[in-house]
Structure 1
């Protein structure tokens, strides 16, 4: 059934998604708040239905942000086809020159009241349209953008600056507010003097906004005194930047002596201190509404038990839930009594003293043997795990590697192997003797096994094929290559996830044996592979390649035409360095062909740094490779999972 809503209701619904906040529109920090937005364009709301198109169009065009020549050309085309759209444009942010299209836009957008203009122009950018169009405007508010330490201007930048000065002095009769860039106090003296001289001649100017800065000495900067000579100026306001960045916010409270100088005529206004009032209580007062008063005495303990179990349980598969605070036992005696079993069920040790305290309590209170099920170790201290062998543990999880001897590991497997589900983070030190393959036969219920094994295994052809029958996830790093022939003798029917992040041995035989079961695989770029991963592991969905400072060969990421691999995501783990990464990965992406991987949807590479300006986009190979992959419906993403989105092209 169709639902008809009034336009006013639809407008309220769409406004949060379509309106641009003024603090973003006027932001003059070095990085544009509109850079790096890789989400779907807000114009997508207009194609939902005719009602949304009718209501959303004025909202969409109220604030127009132009960041490329293609966007300017598209806006010009839209205004020529539908001139009525121009009357909706009230705020116009121009972050470049953008050629002749700007003159056509300005001629049509006659209702612009707020103008953001960048004088930081590349020599290749055409400002002819802007220079000719600016005198046709008459805004009431102008925000100027420039970069810090701007030296000699190129021809286009100087031409735009000259046009801006002339408009301030002669053309813009209704200009009442002018905002200088965030980096205005880092300019050369000549630039500030030039702008301030023009502002001193603006007949209608009332307010000049300048980002907060530290001012030393008894006399104000020359450009402030020049602006103050304008008799129509009523205030010079200092404002904290929205995004201070590396220069930081400057505190001007109390007012520096220089800003109280008689030459400024008392015009200066500084932002109020943002320091919070610590004298006020942060806890709200109890509500006086009698309807909100209730008692928990009638809640059965069974209900509280379920609530506390949910709130206090540590999820062994979600690391973010392990260290969170659980102080519910401090609420009341009832909560303390009901919480105790959950406190004892899973224990986290962050220091040697806490672990030693647990061992002492274990000897004093034997009931702990039947209550403790999971032990977490988040410390690098050398733990003596032998005393916990008598506990029927289900999970031993070392969040940082814990080194143990081969003897301790063998005893853990023998005594706890029948109950253990997860055994993760143990590093077995190299021993004088060799390890016996039969050690794995004790792990009857193990689902996740993550080990570092430096001790070699004795060669054996009698390893039970039923060993590790319940294992779903196997991680070995580092490992002695002698363990691989042992794993080949096991069937491991439940195996789905395998992580070999260090290249310690040939994995081809292992993958031929178990590759058909795998859904997730981690390998090192240094691992010698003589098999095609996607053909040997046809059901593999997620592949992670640990690269470090290396780069893989693109030829290894193809598949024969006769098979259809299931791979959906490929993640490369690099050393995280941005400098030189684009050049280093050029050969890989230039030769990468993904047409043989029809299910591939994403390639993740943490060393990507997406360009944010039209000039940088034109030079970026990352953007070029990403767009080529998008032709095959594959998204290239950075370390934050942010993928490239196509830009308008001329």
Structure 2
């Protein structure tokens, strides 16, 4: 179909893929947005000759130079094809890249947008760029980064002086994009040049928060009579707590001084435009979160009832959805950090925690604010009134809200002590229908390990919870293994996730009690509980279990041995950690338990998460393994020189900060791992971003050597390393 399209239509389609977003081109972020491009868009040009002819002007319209080799290669192309230079409209140079930049600028007479940086190293060669800059006459200038004052070298001084001269001589310059850190202290020459530019009309200051002495900078820029608009990257509200002294870093304005807004001149107030939308966090918000209660206008009619015209069922459904966003914790495990969602904070009974002990936000307590203000020598802030949490606040509105809020709050519970279990049991006795609303329960204790409840009370509660989907036993809580039978009786058909991380045992357990969880897909097991031996003919099955996690704390090998005689038809992922304790009451040894488990279920496992100690055993015991993830606590590389696997496709490595895995990369061979195609590193921003970083990093040579064997190396965001174009001077020895 493409051959039937007109050239103009085809060009419009290809432009969607070849055009560089202006936000990326004019970005002043510390890390270049072009450092993470894995596949070049120029691949579209090799589809056919027609596509190359139509797309070439689009490809050359925006040029990004990030290395000396790129600049040299483009200079050669423009020398051989002089028409290509006329296509270039935007040029971004992210460093000093030699004489090639001069040839590119000289061959490109139609440049309208120019980006450069003043954050240069001593070995950056900017002579070529500086020699050609006066020949340009762009309409927009973007200064990617300023000289922070730490790099007073010849390259920085030459680039700064040339830029200042060009700002004064460029007759078409109308727009300037510059970081907000511009000041008399960091870049006095650049600031003087901007103040004296007679053609400049629009200035954009990038950054999400105003720096120190921002009012002085805005006043100087607004004093230029030709400047009509100054766009700030922050909101007007963020200027309120920004002053001209060091104390404003903490959001404190010294007595007798003015904030940045009050210090603006009349010209600056007229010309400065602030960012709109959500408030951008300020420096103060990093230390103190201010409470701003929205003004609520009360209805004139005291008998006003929202949604009074709706049916009872519709009104309850709407308020339930609203309160789910206000109260309910949709991520059960995160409830550990939000005590507001615990049983005590629902107002069901007295206990070690009350709703008054916690605020309805993550704000710091007012005592902390006063203490820090006192430390700075500032007046103390007024004492702040404590507030109820969201659950109790909703319950206090009316009886209808109390019923709805109670039901919503019961969806995700965190139980801290024995008193909480007793209170919840009493609530279920009064309102048994609430048992069907509970979707997750987390047993959690701030104190020393204790048995959270006696068997009768807790077992009775667990039997009533018929819609439970998630249960967690974490952080010092102690739930006995005998309670699993009650849990299976109540929610065996609905429970999908169980994290039994603190299981204790008053006596030997039976693995048959796990057979009642027909819907369980993920099981995390830790604890000292000992299990009785079983036989294959007992018919115990976990038909839906796909992921089994063992550890990282100790667990008894008898549990692993017992699972060996169960049917696990859907098991695919095994999170296997090293710590295993041979209990003195157990006759099962660690080695025999592991071997027995892999003999029974190893051929089903596709993904393994484990440490280096058991790598050989896991590779041998799982013949159909596809992915092996090293645990996050892995500190050393396993020996793989004599290991092999036919189906393994992915190795996921731990965080790489030191060259402790050299032997792993050297001995990794595609002959012994024929299916291996990917190595994943969880580090984000793992790859070097600049020419200088690439030349000093140890990872590009390793990634390129693996790529020659057909194995690509990816970072935490799935970006694989792509070999860069190099010159003789930049090529690694």
TM beyond 0.5: yes
> Are 1:604 and 2:672 counterparts?
no
What does residue 476 of structure 1 align with?
550
Distance 1:397 1:178 in 2: 55
SS in 2 for 1:165: helix
Per the TM alignment, residue 540 of structure 1 is displaced from its structure 2 partner at its CA by 0.8
What does residue 530 of structure 2 align with?
457
1:485-525 per-residue CA deviation (whole Å, 9 max, x = no partner) reads 33344564553332223432543453344322211222234
Residue 397 (structure 1) aligned to one of 470, 482, 489: 470
Q: TM-score, normalised by structure 1?
A: 0.73
CA contact (8 A) 1:535 1:565 kept: no
Distance 2:76 2:663 in 1: 39
Per the TM alignment, residue 386 of structure 1 is displaced from its structure 2 partner at its CA by 0.9
Distance 2:239 2:42 in 1: 35
* Matches for 1:310-459 after TM superposition, within 5 Å: 347-350=411-414, 359=425, 363=429, 372=436, 375-378=439-442, 380=444, 382=452, 385-388=458-461, 390=463, 393=466, 396-398=469-471, 401=474, 403-412=478-487, 415=489, 419=493, 422=496, 424-427=498-501, 429-437=503-511, 439=513, 442-443=515-516, 445=518, 448=521, 450-457=523-530
- 5+ residue gaps in structure 2? 244-257, 280-292, 297-310, 312-323, 325-329, 336-399, 446-451, 581-589, 728-733
* Matches for 1:569-584 after TM superposition, within 5 Å: 569-573=650-654, 581-584=657-660
CA contact (8 A) 1:551 1:585 kept: yes
> Are 1:496 and 2:572 counterparts?
yes
CA contact (8 A) 2:99 2:127 kept: yes
Residue 540 (structure 1) aligned to one of 625, 646, 664: 625
Per the TM alignment, residue 267 of structure 1 is displaced from its structure 2 partner at its CA by 11
Label 1:534 to 1:92 Cα distance change in 2 as closer, same or farther (>3 A). Answer: same
Q: TM-score, normalised by structure 2?
A: 0.65
Per the TM alignment, residue 593 of structure 1 is displaced from its structure 2 partner at its CA by 3.5
Label 1:131 to 1:238 Cα distance change in 2 as closer, same or farther (>3 A). Answer: same
SS in 2 for 1:109: coil
What does residue 43 of structure 1 align with?
42
Distance 1:452 1:214 in 2: 51
Per the TM alignment, residue 445 of structure 1 is displaced from its structure 2 partner at its CA by 3.7
> Structure 1 residues 251-260 or 161-170, which shifts more?
251-260
What does residue 184 of structure 1 align with?
182
> Are 1:616 and 2:693 counterparts?
yes
Label 1:616 to 1:217 Cα distance change in 2 as closer, same or farther (>3 A). Answer: closer
Distance 1:524 1:584 in 2: 15
Label 1:248 to 1:498 Cα distance change in 2 as closer, same or farther (>3 A). Answer: farther
Distance 1:472 1:377 in 2: 21
What does residue 520 of structure 1 align with?
607
Q: How many residues align?
A: 575
SS in 1 for 2:549: strand
Residue 636 (structure 1) aligned to one of 694, 704, 713: 713
1:503-551 per-residue CA deviation (whole Å, 9 max, x = no partner) reads 32543453344322211222234x44553x3343121112222141522
What does residue 551 of structure 1 align with?
636
SS in 1 for 2:602: helix
Per the TM alignment, residue 427 of structure 1 is displaced from its structure 2 partner at its CA by 3.8
Distance 2:427 2:196 in 1: 82
Label 1:348 to 1:496 Cα distance change in 2 as closer, same or farther (>3 A). Answer: same
Label 1:150 to 1:376 Cα distance change in 2 as closer, same or farther (>3 A). Answer: same
1:298-324 per-residue CA deviation (whole Å, 9 max, x = no partner) reads xxxxxxxxxxxxxx9xxxxx979999x
Per the TM alignment, residue 115 of structure 1 is displaced from its structure 2 partner at its CA by 1.3
SS in 1 for 2:149: coil
- 5+ residue gaps in structure 1? 282-296, 298-311, 313-317, 324-335
